[in-house]
Structure 1
Amino acid sequence: MVQPLLKYPDSRIRLISANVRFFNEELLQWINDMVDTMKANDLEALSAIMIGIQYSVIVIKEGDEYFPYINARLIKCSGQTTQTERSLYYDGISVDVDRFENVTVVFENEKGEPKYKDLCGDSARVFQHHLDYCFGSTFVDRVDKEMKQRINDHLEFGLVANGSACPMVFVRDYFKRGAKYVMSIITVSFIIPFFISDELRQILYQIDFYLLLLVPLLMIAYFFYAFYESRIYKQCTSCQLGNIVGTTAIMSLQLLIVALGVFFWVAP
């Protein structure tokens, strides 16, 4: 069924979309309504909140198919491009927006099966544009203060307050990524002792040892910065303390395994 689109100044656009925890007929009906609405309005993509459904569902037209991205998150980004974007919500407004040129997305399909996909160019931009809606944000939140003020002055009632929408990429993730990269480098070094002398093995052990010391520092930085972000973005599910503690615990277990490899295998 075709649903009405949210239009300015409807404040529901700033609601944070909850993660989908059920994969049933109701979810399929939402997706069907989104597809019908896209066809009726000749749209290439749509976020569920745009028709008043406060759940993290995005549907993107890919060729002749309509593909649902449920509980989607970015896990890898690279490059940057600037292009003019328009919004279904703010009629008649277009601005230049910086976006990642290439992204890797993790999500679930309508059956709840975990998936991932690499997107680039226009596909990556469309996805990021609609992911903003899931986090209570719009494209105007990505322009500088001067442009935002001009848009605010142009609109009859000014911009709809954002209430600290969740960012697409958290700073804490850089610390986590750094810790994982260092542990990956150490793990790869485990094959080197097969091919080197005892003297070189001693040097390799020292390198691995100092790299090993770097990992807990990155983990500590991750934990405390994640705690700081949890106080700012209280509405984000990934900012909950249990999520942060769980991630730290998993990294600690990974560190223990890597450390055992260094001390019992690489050590001469």
Structure 2
Amino acid sequence: MEAPTNAQKPTINNISAVGIIYPQFNPFRIFIEMKDSGYPRKAFATKLLCIGGNWIGTNAKSDANPRATYVREIYEELCLDRAIASTLELTQLFGDATVNYTVAKADVPATDEDVMDLNTIKASIAKNAAWFDDYLNFVPKTVFDRADPNNTVGDHRSLCSVFAVGLPNDLWIKLERLQKKFGNLSNESITVVTTLSEIVQTGWQTAWGQDRVLQDFFLNKINRKPKPIPRLVCEVENFPIMDSITMTRQAEGGFSSYDQYLARYEVLKRP
């Protein structure tokens, strides 16, 4: 498909890359993260969020494409110690003041086996991350306003490139062991293992329009079964969706270079 002219290009704030991590034996169980109550975008505090990050800042300059951004973020974010994190990306995206912080994590020492297992898991994620779809995300100012009377963020448009990562069963077992031992495997957010059923039953909401992404992902997995399971179909139909936000699947995506994205979108914030 021919790239649009400059006059036709959609203008977006930034490009992000995230992944849905799941065991190959059960795609309705996922490893995901949650922003805590101190997250500056209060509309999305305590909401679920696919693990990943943004194509922005010094560390992103060498990213060839969204897949490279996702893999870099996995290696930067998943760890066993209480590393100091920073809100620098939010500063770059929204102008927030930069704050250093540490997230909650069990105060237990990591063994050599723990470190080796996490390194193997990260390598497997990097190897098996398969492009799922690209989405154009729109969050209107009203969503930020109703959660924060002091909000200064306006309408937000971005592109989100999504990857699906099916972990081999033995590595998923190791991932769950580490999650149980440390309670959190991220130095930026709070990781959790949850299921489609739990999300629907608790009404657990998902940030930044990624509820639509998860709904699409689960429906895709249902449709691949020889015979759809009615319970799963019902759960996907009742997946909790935050109102007023749109997440629109793009007709094309998964490009091998950011230059191909820049030919199609006017990106305001980038490395």
Question: Which range, TM-score by smaller chain?
Answer: under 0.3
User: Per residue, is there more strand in 1 or in 2?
Assistant: 2
Q: Please give the TM-score of this superposition, normalised by the length of structure 1.
A: 0.26
* Higher Rg of the two aligned structures: 1
Q: Please give the TM-score of this superposition, normalised by the length of structure 2.
A: 0.25
User: Per residue, is there more helix in 1 or in 2?
Assistant: 1
